[in-house]
Structure 1
């Protein structure tokens, strides 16, 4: 069986020979049933200088060449001889000489001298001999006189022409990029008929290449330098962000006081932004770091603070945690609107009565919900909607802005607690009445534990047909509200004879509107009353209340209270 890629001669198979083995062109491709354009001869790599191979005895065996023809075996010792007038002609289809075919003896050895191997590659263009094997077209390098120039005339010494096709550039081994080579030069050098032109260009381009090489180096330096600067900058920023300390002032300030308003719900970064905007701290990050380092830092609340400019972040945090810096307007639970208006005037340093006038004339534009407007006989439409809380109020603000914030706080709280949804289930006509009940609970209760029981007293007295009070509330707080007072010792005659819609001793049912601003606990008590059957209550010491179910029980408590007053 004939082995692919080896002859049938007497020589042993040599696996180290590059012309043998399954890795060569003749091994794999012939075995696959496809003829290699190079026969059994491997394609030379560009980096290896090509020399004429001297074939041994195995060369007499079967050769796989172009069209199945046998390749002649060459002797490197005897160069081919040509007549000056005679040029070798090649068939473009077979790529084989048509004249002077080699002759073989009876043992298969070639005789005589042979022309130069027509398939040998140009040393500078090792891929030029490859034909368009896969359908591509390629110039015929073998049918032109330039491919094989005629030998020198007899008597004239022939010296090998030095190779000039490969020029590494002005500096030996220089890369094409630094030598100024471009795609145009490479494309031109690939044309086989332009050898002389290529040499001329290379010969006269020395200074130009050096000039272009210098420019290329300058570009590289600029690009690398810019890249290094960019990397250095971003590296520094990364280090600062991860490991560097944030910019910060030193000391407890420069002595210049400034008022800072911290909005409700502000956390570390939002507080830091306000402080930086007012010039108190140098950076937000410094404040956040100082706040995190302080065990009480997370307790900083919204409000108005009096600080100094250019404070260290740690000093700012410490001062904000101190009551000395707090300058908030505190609205207590159960406070009436008339008192709140005066507090706002004092804080804004306005003439007394200014805020009350704004409330009277602009109440419709301050943000009340739809269910809180257009009620009859209401003394102050904003009563019950200046929600008890802490507000940042400082000189320079407008009273209408302060009132809007309070109304917004009340509306939000009532919505969260479900005042509008639960009013009807409690036997009330609307949420406005529920806020009114909460204001009565706030005004009459003496402690938070009273609120649910006090709410039950109200709902029981409002029931139609109850025989205990016959629908009368009879709360002293409603009379005090309309009189703008807070008295305890009120006579029955005084209470029953004052005709006013807010006087629950004179009119049945609820007053026209709230009589104070209830806190959250009072609202929750109004939403969730007890169910023990309470109808009466009395405050014995002004701190706690006692509740009873019948009038008889209530009269006994009244006698005890009067007796305690005489003592």
Structure 2
């Protein structure tokens, strides 16, 4: 068995050799020296593995050729077959008799193999090198440069891993660069070592992370897509039936739209979703007439049932302030609705009236019985237990102020010969108190304006309205004697004092306000209510007294 030495030859490979680069040589003697043939660099030895059985016994004559075939290169040069240079299995040098005829082939240096991945020079023959053929670290026997073949790729499991993309293998963006790097590492580590697999653990983790990320993303997109579809195209959640029997009071604020109302009802447990309520409201022909206020409903109603009940007067539980009510009556209603002690709201009004939103023209009037009289506007109010009296009063004052501004009382008062809107509001309250129907409010307002003239030939500037006396007394009597009326000294008693009372005597409604703004011009000075529903008007005192006699006769007859 042989080893390649590291001695320099006379020249490595001659360019004139017809087989230059394919293993030929000119047979020059090589000097036995321990340095490289290419520059004298120390070289590494090639440990060799035991010979394979097909090589045969090295002591026996062999047929020409390395593998039993004829090779013209060796025959043409007169050299024995390549295998005959090995004299035996386990020896450290060749038999000189077999190599001597060719001039000592053991001393001929081989040129460096450009394909050798180790870029190492052979060690010169004859050097004292350890025999590694019989060890576990042995490599296959060396071959001449022209016979060397690229090392076959190890047939191991990494073939499947190498097909994976670099991203899943835990690498970078260049899969070819990683493949070259792995190949270079295998060549540097040697042919006999099993290649290292491509980061299997990281590959599995990376795949799992990608699956989770993409899976979670797709799941989230799917969920929100489903919710979007349900919200846009799916049927809204809704209860069935007309409720479970449990009543609940719901306050709908002024100006609330369908969606806001639906949200209120949903929060109170009446309907299952606001969307269902909006759909039912739009489907009902009378849905647009739904108003704000307090409604008594049931929990778990279908949206259609809730809409139908809210459109019915049966569900309305608002605090209703009728036209012509005095403040004393309104305060009592508020106390009852809030569940507070009687007189609570009246005391709040007296104490806080300056902070409840009155307009400037309604402030600082003398001799007023109640500064808020005329500003608790007749309407429907959402008043429920738990509210404060001050909040309810503010709401009423706000509605009154808005209505007066809408009707333009400030601009039109002086055109009617009045000092301002405060007097106009007082006229409207008188028309409201004495009138018996909406049809006669204009005539009633004309009576007031005509009697206010100081030189009128009928009353000479006195109004003489029973309603003003009843207001001071906080009563509603009709059987009043003229002597009693004229003896009571009070600014509100129009039988005693000339002109208008200090302020409104009730809370007039819109029709009475419009009557005061646009009175008739027929010359009416007197009026009388015959049946409590209609009024008759006259221009002279004689006509009026005749109607009074007729009225007294009818009363005696009906007793």
* Corresponding residue number in structure 2 for 1:319: 309
Deviation at 1:523, TM superposition (A): 1.4
**Superposition CA RMSD, Å:** 4.0
Residue 542 of structure 2 corresponds to 555
CA distance in 2, matches of 1:201, 1:473: 125
After TM superposition, list the pairs within 5 Å mapping 1:22-421 onto structure 2.
157=146, 170=160, 174-183=164-173, 207-421=197-411
Distance in 2 (alpha carbons) for counterparts of 1:338 and 1:285: 43
Check whether the contact 2:526–2:544 (CA below 8 A) recurs between aligned residues.
Answer: no
TM-score of the pair, normalised by structure 1:
0.63
Q: Where does 1:383-532 land on structure 2 (aligned, <5 Å)?
A: 383-463=373-453, 465-532=455-522
Structure 1 contact 303–328 (Cα < 8 Å) conserved: yes
Q: Say if 1:176 and 1:255 are closer, same or farther in 2 by CA, change over 3 A.
A: same
The CA distance in 1 between the partners of 2:339 and 2:183, in whole Å, is 99
- Alpha-carbon spacing, 1:178–1:537, altered in 2? closer, same or farther (3 Å): same
Q: Secondary structure, in 3 states, of the residue corresponding to 1:259? A: strand
Distance 1:565 1:287, change over 3 A: same
* Alpha-carbon spacing, 1:283–1:158, altered in 2? closer, same or farther (3 Å): same
Do the aligned partners of 2:162 and 2:179 also contact (CA within 8 Å) in 1? no
- May I ask how many residue pairs the two structures share in their alignment? 421
Q: Distance in 1 between matches of 2:259 and 2:387?
A: 24
Residue by residue, what CA displacement relative to the aligned partner does 1:339-387 show, whole Å, maximum 9, x if unpaired?
Answer: 2222223333444333333333333333322322221111111111111
Q: 1:200 to 1:445 in 2, by over 3 A?
A: farther
| Deviation of the 1:515 alpha carbon | 0.5
Q: 2:492 is paired with a residue of what secondary structure?
A: coil
Greater gyration radius:
2
CA-to-partner distance for each residue in 1:210-245, whole Å, 9 max, x for gaps? 444433322321222112201210122022212333
Name the TM-score, length of structure 2 as normaliser: 0.64
What 5-or-longer segments of structure 2 have no aligned partner? 1-17, 25-112, 120-143, 555-559
Distance (Å, rounded) in 2 between the aligned partners of 1:285 and 1:473: 59
Cα separation, partners in 2 of 1:528 and 1:229, compared to 1, 3 Å:
same
Question: CA–CA distance in 2 between the matches of 1:337 and 1:414?
Answer: 18
Segments of structure 1 that go 5 or more residues without pairing to the other structure are 1-78, 85-144
The CA deviation at 1:514 is 0.3
Specify the alignment match of 2:553 in structure 1. Answer: 566
Which SS does the other structure have where 1:516 is aligned? coil
By how many angstroms is 1:508 displaced? 1.6
SS at match of 1:221: helix
Whose relative contact order is higher, 1 or 2, with alpha carbons under 8 Å and at least 6 apart?
A: 2
Q: Structure 1, residues 227-282: CA drift from partner, whole Å, max 9, x if none?
A: 22012101220222123333334444444333222222333222222222233333
The separation in 2 between residues aligned to 1:537 and 1:411, in whole angstroms, is 31
Aligned to 1:134: none
1:27 maps to what in 2? none
